[in-house]
Amino acid sequence: MSALTFTLKQAPAQRVDCSALTPTALADKSVADIAAIELVMGNSTARVDSLFDITGDDVTDININNSTNKLDFIGHSMASGKITVNGDAGAYVGQFLEAGEITVAGNTDVYTACEMKGGQIKVNGNTGDFVGGARPGYKNGMTGGTVIIAGNSGDRTGDHMRRGMILIEGNAGDYCGTRMVSGTIAVLGQVGAHLGYAMKRGTLLLQQAPANGISANFNDCGSHTLAFLPLMLASFKKLDSKFAEIETFSRVQRYAGDLGGIGMGEILVKI
Amino acid sequence: MIINGVTIDETFAEAFPMKGTRLIITALNAKWAMISAQAFTGFATSVIACGCEAGIERELDETETPDGRPGVSVLIFAMGGKGLAKQVETRAGQCVLTSPTSALFSGLDSDEKEIPLGQNLRYFGDGFQISKMIDGKRYWRVPVMDGEFLTQEKTGVQNSVGGGNFLVLAESQAQALAACEAAIEEMKKIPNVIMPFPGGVVRSGSKVGSKFKALNASTNDAFCPTLKGQTNSELSPEVESVMEIVIDGLTKEDIDKAMKVGIQAVCDLGAENGIRRISAGNYGGKLGPFHFHLQEIMA
């Protein structure tokens, strides 16, 4: 068996809902069945084989080639297997992801890992806003799993995030960790303005001090040696990420906030 | 069977099923990890009155512990899962949480059953405690006066064996003790076992029952040298002192190995050092499902 490969024939004019093209949704389907699936595109539908050239038959290992940022909901509710996106991806990559791996070679649009429950998403480019966030009107963002962003993340990364990890190798945008309930966001690069705005609990782990400083809503708790950090950094070693190469450390400056709310969140800055 | 002049009795040790777990206690240095481990395993010689049996398995270096600090692995056993959970929680709360710089981790993964480790201790944090999921395992960071107490939420439980034993019959107290010390030295090298009594040695082996109604165990008079003329003694005139080594282990095979090296160490001292016999404690084979036949082990 070889990987099931969807090669986009030409960039679609309208957005395409790719939620039907996951290992979970395609289990037990023949290539002919898959070709006949109608995908929602704009205000109409289109057969899979009208949009993609299809090769291979292993539904647990899916490639999407020539991908563009018009392909939304890639890996939606996936519970196993692997999806590799060669190119950019649209909005809602890995929404409700339960298990398995999604790798995007390019950039992703908004709401990557929206309400993700488990598994791993690796974006080799940049992501849009609201990584790991909750849908508008919903209270719980991602509740498990790991998101690795090799580039930069957009604004409001981890909005309403409840569990899991978001690891950003580049920079994070404004309002990183906003309204976060729990979980961990680690950033190797810089962070934007309003870090941890309305954060309830959770950890923002920064490799370097924020250029914009720490918000007045966070109080300095002093410098500390925290035993969980070596444990957490050791867990990064198995990842395909710059985080695997970090020299272990446990010494950090700790800031608690957002004191405008319950103030149980923390920003840890490596010292 | 006679080894180096020491008679190995044709008898067996009778042991019981227990529930056990392994915990890893770490600290800033090996000294404080050991202090915490000793406190945790204190007053845990016998389930008869302690509620559990616990002991130090071995010291761990920085490469063997989850947080890269020096540590000690301890084993703790109880008659049931609930009893074990209670003992682990109270001991962890009073002896590890309180110990400077300590952290506490599970040393036993089990798919079948887990018991709380830091799951309830976290409330000591009074709402300031922080949870962290790392590699699928939940840890708790509890703020304490020296920094943070880090503990894993749960530890695995395994069906184990408690009460493996053998008796060393010698011509004097000093010779019996020296032989037991030699045995313990070798038995400590075997993984997955502990010898829960003080220094690994027990001088007050017991039999089931008593003439006093309130007691369900009493002195093993058949092996008490001062009663040779008063009771149905198991001891020959030359034997002046008997000491016992009790072994708890995660599996029967682990206890087999520990008994073998322990008895061998005693026999290596041999008759010339006053060791006369090796025997074992049992209840006629009716109470415990695990039988450790001395001669089979030493064959």
Tokens of B172: 């004097």
Least Cα separation, residue B189 to chain A (angstroms): 28
Report the alpha-carbon distance of residue B203 to residue B241 in Å, rounded.
9
Is it the case that residue B112 has pLDDT exceeding 80? no
Q: What is the mean pLDDT of residues A239-245?
A: 96
The confidence band for A92, taking pLDDT boundaries of 50, 70 and 90, is very high
CA angle A158/A14/A81 to nearest 5° reads 55
**pLDDT for the residue B65:** 95
Q: How many CB atoms lie within 10 A of CB A117?
A: 19
State the average pLDDT over residues A108-117.
98
Instruction: Report CB contact under 8 Å: B134, A225.
Output: no
Report B:76-105 residues touching A (Cβ under 8 A).
Answer: 103
pLDDT at B208: 85
Residues of B in contact with A264 (CB under 8 A): 127-128, 130
pLDDT of residue A60: 96
pLDDT for residue A1:
82
Same CATH fold assignment for domains B2-14+161-298 and B18-158: yes
Range B18-158 classified under CATH 3.20.20.70 = no
Beta-strand relationship, A265-270 and A203-206? parallel
For B207-235, the pLDDT digits (tens) are 888 999 998 889 999 999 999 999 999 99
Q: By the 8 A CB rule, do A248 and A231 touch?
A: no
Instruction: Compute the distance between CA of residue A58 and CA of residue A87 in angstroms, rounded to an integer.
Output: 21
Mean per-residue pLDDT of chain A? 96
| B43 pLDDT above the threshold of 80 | yes
A232·B66 Cβ contact <8 A: no
Q: What is the pTM of this model?
A: 0.92
A166-174, Cβ contacts within 8 angstroms, sequence gap of 24 or more: A166/A113, A166/A131, A166/A132, A166/A142, A167/A236, A167/A239, A167/A241, A167/A243, A169/A241, A169/A242, A169/A243, A170/A126, A173/A129
d(CA B153, nearest CA chain A) in Å: 13
Kind and range of the H or E run holding A234:
helix A228-235
Digit-coded pLDDT (tens) for A23-44: 999 999 999 999 999 999 999 9
- Parse chain A into domains and list their residue ranges: 110-270
Q: Strands, DSSP E only, in A215-264?
A: 219-225, 251-257
CB-closest option in A144, A182, A266 to B131: A182
The token duo for B148 is 């943070």
Encoded tokens for A231: 């444990």
State which residue of chain B sits closest to A248, comparing Cα positions.
B68
Domain locations in chain B as residue ranges: 2-14+161-298, 18-158
Over residues A82-103, the mean pLDDT reads 98
**How high is the ipTM of this complex?**
0.91
Across the interface, whether the CB atoms of A235 and B67 are under 8 A apart is answered: no
At B216 the pLDDT is 83
Instruction: Place A151 in a pLDDT band, splitting at 50, 70 and 90.
Output: very high
| Residues of chain A contacting residue B126, judged by C-beta atoms under 8 Å apart | none
What would the two tokens of residue A64 be?
């999407």
CA B127 to chain A, closest CA, distance in angstroms equals 9
Using a CB–CB cut-off of 8 Å, the residues of A that contact B are 144, 163-164, 182, 184, 201, 203, 224-228, 230-232, 234-235, 248, 264, 266
| pLDDT tens digits, one per residue of A191-235 | 999 999 999 999 999 999 999 899 999 999 999 999 999 999 999
A182: enclosing H helix or E strand? none
Cβ-based contacts under 8 A for chains A and B = 45
If one counts every other C-beta atom within 10 angstroms of the C-beta of residue B163, the result is 24
Residue type at position B1: M
How far is it, in rounded angstroms, from Cα B269 to Cα A204? 62
- Structural contact between residues A259 and A221, judged by C-beta atoms closer than 8 angstroms: no
- Under the banding of pLDDT at 50, 70 and 90, the label for residue A105 is very high
Residue B273's pLDDT is 96
**pLDDT value at residue B31:** 98
Contact between chains at A232 and B148 (C-beta distance less than 8 A): no
Q: CB atoms < 10 A from the CB of A190, how many?
A: 16
pLDDT score, position B143: 97
- Confidence at residue B110, expressed as pLDDT on a 0 to 100 scale: 80
> Per-residue pLDDT tens for B268-282?
999 999 999 999 988
Taking a C-beta distance cutoff of 8 angstroms, is the pair A32, A48 a contact? no
Reply yes or no on whether the pLDDT at B19 is more than 80.
yes
Summarised one tens digit per residue, pLDDT across range A164-198 is: 999 999 999 999 999 999 999 999 999 999 999 99
In the block, residue with structure tokens 């939420």: B153
Determine phi and psi for B113, rounding to 5 degrees. Answer: -145, 140
pLDDT at B118: 94
Q: Are residues B150 and A184, on separate chains, in Cβ contact within 8 Å?
A: no
Q: Which of A136, A143, A149, A155 is nearest to A105 (CA)?
A: A149
Q: What is the pLDDT of residue B283?
A: 79
Interface test with A, best of B104, B133, B135 (most A CBs within 10 A): B133
Could you give the CA distance from residue A149 to residue A238 in angstroms, rounded to a whole number?
A: 16
Q: Which CATH class, in words, describes the domain spanning B2-14+161-298?
A: alpha beta
d(CA B73, CA B105): 9
If you average pLDDT over residues A147-155, what whole number do you get? 98
Share of chain A above pLDDT 70, in %: 100
Residues B139-175: pLDDT tens digits? 999 999 999 999 999 999 999 999 999 999 999 999 9
Give which of B24, B25, B65, B67 to mutate to test A binding, by max A Cβ within 10 Å: B67
- Do A248 and B68 count as a contact with CB atoms less than 8 A apart? yes
Mean pLDDT of A115-125: 98
